Structure 1
Amino acid sequence: MTTDTIQIGISDLTVQYGPVTALDSVSMTIRAGATTAVLGANGAGKTTLLRTISGLIRPKAGSITFGGKELVGVSPDRMSRKGLAHVPEGRGVIAELTVEENLRLGALGRNRAHDAVTLDQVYDIFVPLAGRRTSSAHTLSGGERQMLVIGRALMATPSVLLLDEPSLGLAPKIVAQIFEIIATLVDAQSMTVVLVEQNARSALSIAEHAVVLDLGKVAVEGPATVLAQDPALRHAYLGF
């Protein structure tokens, strides 16, 4: 359920890797209880944006506020305890541990401002994992691994979920399942999702708002339905 509350405010954010400017004075707002899609070509700065929000990268300049409080300089582990969970690209599970052991790791840095998400709740959301709870993570399919890393993030009881390329390398049927689950998290649990995706069509289908990055700058932003229906914009930036 979308609200008018600004949960994350980003103002004039600049990030550099040596002489390369990855984000150039980026400003945007993330509304509470909604999905914001961050789109653009490879190298546009999408992953850098998520890594900077979650504290993995320190910006050269700019401000990031979460619930009105400054985030720049806050460590990633403190971010988790504040209710912000980051699921990086790559489906990084601990292969030697079981599904349930991986999930329990997610609870170590949980946000204590809300009632803890339980294992049973995660299994209700990701039904295929329920039957694999004692299986080693290395035996999982790509789709199951993606469910596991999102489920592990949910165990931290976040209010904001940062997802980086959750559909990458997955079969279309599995992609549809993952996006359906993301939409359910927003609608049923009032979670805020920031979704970085190459699959622009699918991302726009579940997002309320969208931001398109181009060479580290905000090229365009607005309601997802408006961006999806603009053929010139789709051709220029989104590839469909």
Structure 2
Amino acid sequence: MLTISELSAAYGPVRALDRVSFTAERGRVTAVLGANGAGKTTLLRTVSGLHRADGGTVELDGHRLDQVPADRMPGLGLAHVPEGRGVITELTVEENLRLGGLGRGRRVDGADLERVYELFPVLADRRAATAHVLSGGERQMLVIGRALMARPTMLLLDEPSLGLAPRIVGQIFELLRGLVESESLSVLLVEQNARSALSIAHRGVVLNLGRVVADDDAATLAADDQLRHAYLGF
């Protein structure tokens, strides 16, 4: 379980997170929602050690993360897929995947690769191709697969649907829900498309100007007309 308590972060004089507190339970999808500038990406960057917190704590399964360098996070079970589908285009699909396994500090074996290829058959078909030939959807699958190579217990995903066709978004979201149900993986999902995110999430947290304004099960948030119109845009 990921426990975030009174977490605050700033960029110079601008406070991006203001005493944010919530939990993301094991084996569930927790969606973090809100308008642009609400603090969603900063939240993930602070949890994963890419941005230093000004106060508060982050714990994963009882281990404090808020003072841990970003490069040690995979060894503690946390993987972060930032916005932007950052693959190394000069490397092959398989080489990109193998890099993900190195983050856990152990040798990558064939079972790790086959597990990802079973989840993403299109990557298996393109394993020897360089990543620059992949479509946007295939690159998103590759960065998720690369994160899964470290066998995390908590996966942070930032805007995985951005710029993708609805059909591809649906495939990726269904895969995430399946991973959570079959492997007890926890997912903290930042997503601008609130309707799609709530359709697969178990719980939702709504941010506004760096503060939590709602924290409830996904179905309750989706049914709250006032909340949806004020903060979620649907």
* 1:185-210 residue CA offsets vs partner (Å, 9 max, x unmatched): 10111100000000101100111110
Contact 1:210 1:221 in 2 (8 A): yes
Aligned residue number for residue 179 of structure 1: 173
Q: Which amino acid aligns with 1:139?
A: V
Q: What is the CA distance between 1:116 and its match in structure 2?
A: 9.2
Percent of pairs with identical residues: 65
Instruction: After superposing the two structures, state which structure 1 stretch, 115-124 or 209-218, moved more.
Output: 115-124
* 1:159-181 residue CA offsets vs partner (Å, 9 max, x unmatched): 10000000000001111111011
Unaligned runs of 5+ in 2: none
Instruction: After superposing the two structures, state which structure 1 stretch, 116-125 or 8-17, moved more.
Output: 116-125
The answer to whether 1:56 aligns with 2:17 is no
**SS at 1:118 equivalent:** helix
1-side partners of 2:32 and 2:111: how far apart? Answer: 27
2-side partners of 1:126 and 1:201: how far apart? Answer: 24
Q: Which amino acid aligns with 1:229?
A: A
Distance change >3 Å, CA 199–CA 152, structure 1 → 2: same
Instruction: After superposing the two structures, state which structure 1 stretch, 98-107 or 73-82, moved more.
Output: 73-82
Q: What is the CA distance between 1:111 and its match in structure 2?
A: 6.8
Mapping 1:75-114, distance limit 5 Å: 75-110=69-104
Aligned residue number for residue 68 of structure 1: 62
1:236 to 226, 230, 234: 230
**SS at 1:73 equivalent:** coil
Mapping 1:131-146, distance limit 5 Å: 131-146=125-140
Moved over 4 A (4+): none
2-side partners of 1:110 and 1:35: how far apart? Answer: 23
2-side partners of 1:93 and 1:50: how far apart? Answer: 19
Aligned residue number for residue 211 of structure 1: 205
The answer to whether 1:130 aligns with 2:124 is yes
**SS at 1:28 equivalent:** strand
Q: Which amino acid aligns with 1:93?
A: V
**SS at 1:153 equivalent:** helix
The answer to whether 1:32 aligns with 2:43 is no
**SS at 1:168 equivalent:** coil
Aligned residue number for residue 157 of structure 1: 151
TM-score where L is the length of structure 2: 0.97
Unaligned runs of 5+ in 1: 1-6
2-side partners of 1:208 and 1:80: how far apart? Answer: 24
Contact 1:14 1:59 in 2 (8 A): yes
1-side partners of 2:233 and 2:141: how far apart? Answer: 27
Q: Which amino acid aligns with 1:127?
A: P
**SS at 1:92 equivalent:** coil
| RMSD of aligned Cα (Å) | 1.3
2-side partners of 1:91 and 1:97: how far apart? Answer: 14
The answer to whether 1:198 aligns with 2:192 is yes
2-side partners of 1:158 and 1:173: how far apart? Answer: 26
2-side partners of 1:143 and 1:62: how far apart? Answer: 36
Aligned residue number for residue 4 of structure 2: 10
2-side partners of 1:116 and 1:53: how far apart? Answer: 31
2:114 to 114, 120, 123: 120
